[in-house]
Amino acid sequence: MDIVVSKYSVPIRLTEERWFHIIENHDDLAGHYDNVLQTIEDPDTIIEGYKKALIALRRGL
């Protein structure tokens, strides 16, 4: 399990179970674990998603 701090200073835990859930539904992210954590820490853009969830985005990763 890794913990990173979001742009809004919120600690985000990415457990092995959550990571497997993510790549199950987004197989294009497999092999990009470190890029996902980096995006959470330093996104280019943050948008509002379903049920007001915040989604961090980066270009070119």
Number of domains in the chain: 1
pLDDT in tens, 23-56: 999 999 999 999 999 999 999 999 999 999 999 9
Domain with 51, as residue range(s), is 2-57
Rounded-to-integer distance, Cα 2 and Cα 48, Å: 24
The predicted model scores a pTM of: 0.83
pLDDT in tens, 2-19: 999 999 999 999 999 999
Contacts of 4 (CB under 8 A, 6+ apart): 11, 12, 14, 37, 40, 41
Rounded-to-integer distance, Cα 33 and Cα 40, Å: 11
